[in-house]
């Protein structure tokens, strides 16, 4: 902290940008850019230093000019600059002038600069692709600024609250195209540089620096038909991929219209461009009016039908478009409230997909997927609150995680459920009140409370803030313990924090409490549709009786209908037995599918903690052999997955395999033909899911069918037709590579080099990690961090996860990571928090104390390389410790049980 109370990485705040005039020329042959930025500043507090952000840019100090502006914006006075310097520790560039800039007046600073287009995936960087027709490499320049990398492209006030209007001009060689946030106004030839032109874009609306974007490329584009809202929608991609933009151009405009109705706020820009970038660090980025995507998240080849890819593209498009309101129009004041961006975009994105493609069944599936991630990460002491204090850029980067996205979305879903229609109206008011400005979560709570009180959805003494602060300001979520009185038919609920490693009774962590909307239903009158809260479990209340309840003693009681609330629910052994007997009977569907899924997830996590006998959990999961719906099957296998990874490298894995075979065999009868894809969407998904299990556990002739399909694949003209159904390619090719040796590996690799479809390339990369040849795996790992290899930086980490996630690959992954830590760190610069992800991958497969010791020693010895990944280091160690604990306490017993 500095004397003025601001941390050293924050701007002083005495100057606020009003307008940027940014001129930038890009040279894709020299990989550099040069330009100037003219920033109009409003001085709020007198100062003689101008402090702004700049990283890795060369500033031409002689050209820096500071002027005072008069009322008509004319230059009144030019200051003498007495000093200027870079302050690399806090990413600042500081210009000192001879006299004070006075509060209440307008100033201008002009800064000429230049920089390098590095292949860094951040700032203004370069990407490339192979043009297959001409067999030449083509280059493009594109930006990725969130959270703190606009400062790598031009000197600026790089904080989300410093909103300003942007007038951008981009120069480039003729034949290339420039796009930016706003529409192109005009193109003029560049003076003194023949064959170059300036593209000038319309002045933007007020926006944060992290949302500024541009791209200079030789891409083509396709325009979606104009809809009644008159927003021009274009999709950009390399020319050879333009045949893959149809799906996104259909979904995008529809989703945008849905949001306009949902929020009752028009999309404020005249156009929306979306671009598929060959090298991209995350999935996509919501830059206002120019959304950038990894190719896999935007492109879809209709000739290779795939439900997975449709879902992926539809969701990511819907997520990014939701940001145009949540994040772009109304922006969080500081990254502490990143969840207001990401939680909302995640939740609203699922609503968007559900509305335009209801047949995908995406809403429930995604909700359960998010819930499962939150269950895991947020059961660690080293998790963090949704709304979390963060400072320097490395800390900000770390919170783009499951808590901000998935827990954010999960608690918004819960809130939507207890507020009903008031949610929509309240959110709309919030957006209208704060548009083009910034907000904190309290602003949202205020709008929602007012609406809920008007609509009489919340009692006058209750506020949304009171309820939701317990969810966003505290780490973790509740474990509800249900006690039934079988004589009177009553039931009571208490809450504590759910932790993967149960706390000691006197630990303070037990004191946390939440406001929980209680829903429940009974065997006598099962209703899994009514999710409106029957009563509140208040924070601070010790033990609450469920109202008006009289459950017969031979019937079950189930809490948290459709898992709309974020909690785990522990019952007494008799209630578990009653549930188990319904699940293991023809009446299992009297329990709703989301709750069937939740019961399995809970039971196995309780068993891991020692709260529930493994017998009970395994009895429950045995019912899966009769399950016919997707969500319980998906979650059921995930519940069992922990045992899979804890036993996979042990001598007793065979017993686990046989337990799984018992569950899977009855299901195999219906889905035994690998290449026969069912017609109906849910059935296709079940077929995909089960096929992976059948082949993994060697049920029937699954493996033989897979190898036969590979044989056909290996000789087919794959650009014309592919004998493997797209969503099964990963399975089939993985098996082929596993049993195939070097020649199969080479065959799959050469297809990777040839394929024109990014989602196919991703599948091939995954399959390549399935080999059991040590030298091939080691070479593959080496390639993953080699700038000159054919593997893109964006795929580096996933390749490591593919290799280290398999049993034998775990050992190789370890050695590789340990030996190459520094190289890995440098390879990912400036995104050095990536080393934390490597660690998390390894940690999830750690089983034994010596493995944990090895991890501890590695971190201890290399502290400085883990500086930017502090949170993930803690989470990795805690996860690994819990695994080791499981082995000590449960390994023998579970192995014996599985044998029975
Ligand atoms: Zn997002």
What span, in angstroms and rounded, lies between the C-alpha atoms of 335 and 440?
Answer: 10
Round to whole Å and give the CA distance between 251 and 264: 20
Distance 316 CA to ligand 1 centre (A): 9
How many whole angstroms from 329 Cα to the centroid of ligand 1?
14
CA of 320 to the centre of ligand 1 (A): 6
**pLDDT for residue 4:** 52
Write the CB contacts of 879 (distance below 8 Å, at least 6 apart in sequence): 380, 500, 840, 843, 844, 846
What's the 322 CA to ligand 1 centre distance in angstroms? 8
**What pLDDT, in 10s, does the model give residues 437-479?**
999 999 999 999 999 999 999 999 999 999 999 999 999 999 9
Taking the CB of residue 231, how many other CB atoms lie within 10 A of it?
A: 21
449-484 as b/e: b if 16+ CB within 10 A: bbbbbeeebbeeebbbbebbbbbbebbbbbbbbbeb
Residue 422 CA, ligand 1 centroid: distance in Å: 24
What pLDDT, on a 0 to 100 scale, did the predictor assign at position 510?
Answer: 65
- C-alpha 755/C-alpha 733 separation (Å) is 15
Q: List the structure tokens of 121.
A: 């995936």
Q: How far is the CA of 283 from the centre of ligand 1 (A)?
A: 9
Contacts of 245 (CB under 8 A, 6+ apart): 222, 235, 237, 276, 298, 299
Residues with CB under 5 A from ligand 1 (ion): 342, 345
How much is the pLDDT for 806?
Answer: 80
Ligand 1 centroid vs 280 CA: distance in angstroms? 14
What's the pLDDT tens digit per position in 722-775? 999 999 999 999 999 999 999 999 999 999 999 999 999 999 999 999 999 999
Pairing of β 177-180 and β 232-237: unpaired
Pairwise CA distance, residues 394 & 427, whole Å: 31
Distance from the alpha carbon of residue 281 to the mean position of ligand 1, in angstroms: 13
What is the per-residue pLDDT for 831? 87
CA-to-CA distance for 284 and 277, rounded, in angstroms? 9
Q: How far is the CA of 300 from the centre of ligand 1 (A)?
A: 20
CATH architecture group of domain 330-472: Orthogonal Bundle (1.10)
**Per-residue tokens: 688:** 């995909």
Cα 254 to averaged position of ligand 1 atoms, centre (Å): 19
Known catalytic membership, residue 860? no
3-state helix, strand, coil in the chain (%, to 5): 45, 20, 30
Picking from 193, 188, 180, 197, the residue whose alpha carbon sits closest to that of residue 236 is 180
Q: Kind and range of the H or E element at 824?
A: helix 807-828
Bridge partners (DSSP) listed for residue 112 = 36
Would you call 539 helix, strand, or coil by DSSP? coil
Where the chain has pLDDT below 70, the residues are 1-7, 510
What is 1-218's CATH number, 2.60.40.1730, 2.60.40.10, 3.40.50.300, 3.90.1720.10?
Answer: 2.60.40.1730
Separation of CA 319 and ligand 1 centre (Å): 6
Q: Please tell me what DSSP assigns to residue 331.
A: E
- Residue 1 has a pLDDT of 46
Q: What pLDDT sits at residue 385? A: 95
Q: Domain residue spans in the chain?
A: 1-218, 330-472
* Closest C-alpha to 314, from 325, 300, 302: 300
The alpha helices in 455-572, defined as continuous H runs, are 464-472
8 A C-beta contact, residue 39 and residue 20: yes
Q: From the candidates 297, 320, 398, 760, give the one annotated as an active-site residue.
A: 320
Contact 334, 161 (CB under 8 A): yes
Concatenated DSSP letters of 23-36: EEEEETTTTEEEEE
């Amino acid at each position: 902290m500095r004397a003025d109370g601001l941390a050293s990485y924050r701007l002083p705040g005495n100057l606020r940008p009003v307008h940027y005039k940014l001129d930038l020329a890009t040279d894709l042959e020299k990989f550099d850019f040069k330009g100037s930025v003219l920033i109009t500043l409003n001085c709020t507090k007198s100062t003689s230093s101008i402090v702004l952000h700049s990283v890795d840019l060369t500033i031409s100090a002689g050209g820096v000019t500071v002027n005072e502006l008069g009322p008509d914006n004319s230059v009144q006075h030019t200051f003498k600059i007495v000093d200027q310097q870079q302050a690399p520790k806090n990413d600042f560039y500081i210009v000192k002038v001879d006299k004070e800039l006075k509060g209440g007046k307008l100033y201008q600073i002009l800064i000429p600069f230049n920089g390098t287009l590095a292949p860094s995936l951040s700032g203004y960087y370069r990407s490339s692709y192979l043009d297959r027709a001409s067999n030449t490499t083509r280059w493009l320049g594109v930006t990725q600024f969130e959270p703190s990398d606009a400062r790598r492209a031009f000197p600026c006030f790089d904080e989300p609250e410093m909103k300003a209007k942007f007038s951008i001009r981009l120069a480039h060689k003729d034949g290339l195209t420039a796009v930016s946030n706003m529409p192109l106004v005009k193109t003029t030839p560049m003076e003194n540089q023949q064959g170059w032109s300036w593209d000038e874009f319309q002045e933007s609306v007020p926006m944060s620096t992290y949302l500024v974007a541009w791209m200079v490329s030789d891409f083509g584009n396709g325009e979606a038909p104009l809809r009644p809202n008159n927003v021009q929608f274009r999709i950009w991609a390399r020319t050879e991929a333009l045949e893959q933009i149809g799906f996104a151009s259909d979904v995008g405009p529809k989703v945008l219209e849905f949001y306009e109705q949902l929020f009752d706020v028009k999309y404020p820009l005249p156009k929306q461009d979306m671009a598929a970038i060959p090298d991209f660090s995350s999935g996509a980025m919501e830059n206002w009016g120019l959304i950038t995507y990894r190719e896999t998240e935007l492109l879809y080849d209709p000739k290779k039908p795939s439900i997975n890819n449709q879902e992926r593209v539809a969701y990511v498009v819907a997520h990014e478009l939701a940001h145009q309101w949540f994040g772009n129009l109304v922006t969080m004041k500081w990254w502490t409230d990143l969840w207001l961006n990401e939680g909302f975009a995640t939740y609203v994105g699922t609503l968007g997909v559900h509305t335009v493609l209801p047949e995908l069944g995406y809403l429930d599936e995604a909700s359960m997927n998010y819930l499962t991630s939150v269950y895991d990460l947020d059961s660690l002491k080293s998790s963090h609150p949704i709304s979390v204090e963060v400072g320097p850029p490395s800390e900000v980067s770390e919170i783009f995680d499951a808590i901000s996205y998935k827990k954010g979305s999960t608690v918004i879903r819960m809130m939507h459920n207890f507020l009903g229609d008031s949610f929509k109206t309240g959110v709309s008011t919030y957006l209208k009140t704060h548009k083009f400005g910034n907000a904190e979560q309290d602003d949202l709570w205020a709008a929602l409370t007012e609406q809920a009180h008007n609509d009489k959805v919340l009692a006058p003494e209750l506020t949304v803030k009171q309820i939701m602060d317990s969810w966003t300001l505290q780490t973790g979520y509740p474990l509800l313990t249900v006690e039934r009185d079988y004589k009177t038919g009553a039931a009571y609920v208490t809450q504590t924090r759910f932790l993967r490693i149960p706390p000691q009774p006197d630990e303070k962590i037990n004191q946390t409490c939440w406001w929980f909307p209680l829903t429940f239903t009974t065997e006598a009158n099962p209703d899994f549709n009514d999710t409106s809260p029957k009563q509140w479990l208040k924070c601070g209340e010790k033990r609450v009786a469920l109202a008006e309840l009289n459950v017969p003693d031979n019937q079950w009681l189930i809490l948290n209908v459709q898992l709309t609330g974020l909690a785990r629910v522990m019952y007494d052994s008799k209630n578990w037995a009653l549930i188990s007997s319904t699940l293991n009977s023809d009446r299992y569907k009297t329990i709703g599918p989301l709750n069937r899924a939740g019961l399995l997830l809970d039971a196995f996590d309780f068993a891991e903690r020692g709260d529930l006998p493994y017998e009970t959990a395994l009895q429950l999961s045995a019912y899966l052999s009769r399950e016919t719906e997707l969500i319980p099957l998906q979650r059921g296998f995930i519940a069992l997955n922990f045992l899979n990874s804890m036993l996979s490298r042990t001598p007793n894995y065979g017993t686990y395999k046989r337990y799984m075979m018992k569950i899977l065999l009855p299901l195999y009868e219906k889905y035994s033909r690998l290449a026969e894809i069912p017609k109906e969407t849910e059935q296709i998904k079940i077929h995909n899911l089960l096929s992976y299990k059948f082949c993994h556990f060697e049920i029937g002739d699954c493996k033989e069918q897979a190898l036969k399909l590979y044989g056909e694949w290996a000789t087919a003209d794959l650009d014309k037709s592919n004998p493997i159904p797209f969503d099964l390619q990963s399975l089939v090719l993985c098996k082929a590579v596993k049993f195939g040796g070097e020649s199969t590996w080479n065959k799959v690799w050469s297809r990777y080099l040839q394929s024109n479809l990014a989602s196919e390339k991703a599948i091939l990369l995954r399959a390549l990690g399935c080999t059991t040849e040590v030298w091939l795996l080691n070479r593959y790992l080496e390639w993953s961090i080699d700038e000159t290899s054919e593997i893109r930086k964006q795929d580096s980490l996933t390749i490591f996860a593919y290799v280290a996630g398999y049993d034998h690959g775990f050992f190789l992954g370890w050695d590789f990571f340990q030996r190459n830590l520094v190289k890995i760190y440098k390879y990912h610069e400036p995104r050095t928090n990536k080393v934390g992800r490597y660690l998390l991958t390894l940690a999830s497969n750690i089983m034994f104390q010596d493995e944990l010791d090895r991890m501890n020693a590695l971190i201890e010895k290399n502290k400085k390389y883990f500086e930017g990944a502090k949170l993930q280091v803690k989470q990795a160690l805690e996860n690994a410790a819990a695994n080791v604990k499981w082995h000590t306490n449960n390994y023998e017993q579970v192995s014996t049980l599985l044998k029975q």
